Amino acid sequence: GGHSGSKSSSSASAAHSGNGVHFFGRLYVGYENRATASANSVDSIRDNGGKSRLGIKFKENLGSMSLIGHAEWKFDIADGTAGNDSSTACTAARDCRTIDLHVGNLGFLTGLGYIGIGSFESPYKTMGKFDNNMDTAVAMNAHGATSTGNGGQAGTLESMLAYHGHMGPFEIGYMYALSDTDADASADRTNTDQGDYALGIQIKDMMMPGLTVGYARTHDHEVAGGSAQSNDRVFASMKVLPHVGIFLTMEDVNQSGSYSAGISSAGDITTIGTHYQLGHTAIQAVYAKGDSDGAATEDYKTLGMSASMHLSKTSDITFGYIKQDFDSTGSDITTRSIGLTHKF
């Protein structure tokens, strides 16, 4: 589902039929306890992040190139509604769908790389993606530890022309929005406008073994009442011991809604973290600092930790805790969760 057009963002093992079509998926359900400021905490059983997935993909040999297709849907097996469960989530039929398209694309894999069209996870999301808890209640991007929204770490972009290629240690991804609906705003059903783009480049194991560095950007070409806006991110990761890795991201976030959930200001987010594999358990710890260009109450620090225990090759259970601690009078957010995942 990523910018390469041939990767499944569900990281699921795929079953396949004899005609080359592969079916894959992931089921997830979680318990979460969430407290905001001084309000009473709320207990929930749900999958609002849409981690549960069902997908289909194929690769057809055309001789000098291959045709690749990928479609992936997300859903919530706990309550049957794909998306947010707030009181305003079902104001239109589109918001209340049981199954919601995540990505869908068709393209050609050639000797020079992949080129395709459709909806994709942007390079801003797939390159330098260090969060093992993406799409869950304790996701980093839901608590300010990374940017959020389609212009940030959760980026899924529609109506895009996409290129992805590898050249030695270099990996390059680029997307450009093709749909132009300015003449008829009511016909615009995409989350992009013509001229929007996303790009990413990362380098692996070139300067030293185990080191990955990279840069990613999303660019919003047209902003109502203002000039174009971009989010920029520099990232790096390093395997420092056989079972230990560290990572760093630095983001300059200018697109509205990307800095932190519910905050329209721009700002900077710096994140450091580690992954540690202890037997069948993957441990993740992260610390982040948000520096808003707006009010002082929008500055924050985020601390999170999780442990994911593999029950089998296809199933795991994850325990997580994360807190976004705002400076001054900002409303702190604390989330605890237990989630069960099965891939197929």
- pLDDT category at 188 given cuts 50, 70, 90 is low
Q: Is the pLDDT of residue 91 over 90?
A: no
Enter the pTM of the model: 0.87
Contact residues for 15 (Cβ-Cβ < 8 A; gap 6+): 22, 23, 24, 344
pLDDT of residue 17: 46
Per-residue pLDDT tens digits for 155-181 = 899 999 999 999 999 999 999 998 876
Among 175-179, 219-223, 235-239, name the most confident range: 235-239
pLDDT of residue 46: 83
pLDDT of residue 181: 61
Higher pLDDT, 20 or 219: 219
Could you give the CA distance from residue 149 to residue 260 in angstroms, rounded to a whole number? 9
What is the rounded average pLDDT for all residues in the chain?
Answer: 88
pLDDT of residue 16: 47
Higher pLDDT, 75 or 308: 308
pLDDT of residue 77: 86
Higher pLDDT, 150 or 113: 113
Q: Is the pLDDT of residue 11 over 70?
A: no
pLDDT of residue 187: 58
Per-residue pLDDT tens digits for 129-160 = 999 999 999 999 999 999 998 889 888 999 99
Mean pLDDT within 22-44: 91
Q: Is the pLDDT of residue 85 over 60?
A: no
- pLDDT over 90, % of the chain: 65
Per-residue pLDDT tens digits for 256-279 = 889 987 787 899 999 999 999 999
pLDDT of residue 20: 79
pLDDT of residue 6: 47
Residue 187, Cα to own-chain centre: how many angstroms? 27
Mean pLDDT within 87-98: 58
Question: Residue 213 CB: number of other CB atoms within 10 A?
Answer: 17
- pLDDT category at 18 given cuts 50, 70, 90 is very low
- Give the DSSP H or E segment for 125: helix 123-126
pLDDT of residue 10: 46
- pLDDT category at 323 given cuts 50, 70, 90 is very high
Per-residue pLDDT tens digits for 198-216 = 999 999 998 899 999 999 9
pLDDT of residue 92: 54
Burial class (CB in 10 A: 0-12, 13-18, 19+), 12: buried
Could you give the CA distance from residue 285 to residue 69 in angstroms, rounded to a whole number? 36
Mean pLDDT within 1-15: 52
Q: What are phi and psi of 128, to 5 degrees?
A: 70, 35
Name residue 338's beta-bridge partners.
Answer: 31, 319
Q: Is the pLDDT of residue 42 over 70?
A: yes
Please check whether residue 138 is in contact with residue 320, taking contact to mean a CB–CB distance below 8 angstroms.
yes
Could you give the CA distance from residue 74 to residue 129 in angstroms, rounded to a whole number? 19
pLDDT of residue 175: 97
Higher pLDDT, 222 or 163: 163
pLDDT of residue 13: 53
Within 13 Å and on the Cβ side, how many CA atoms surround 91?
A: 4
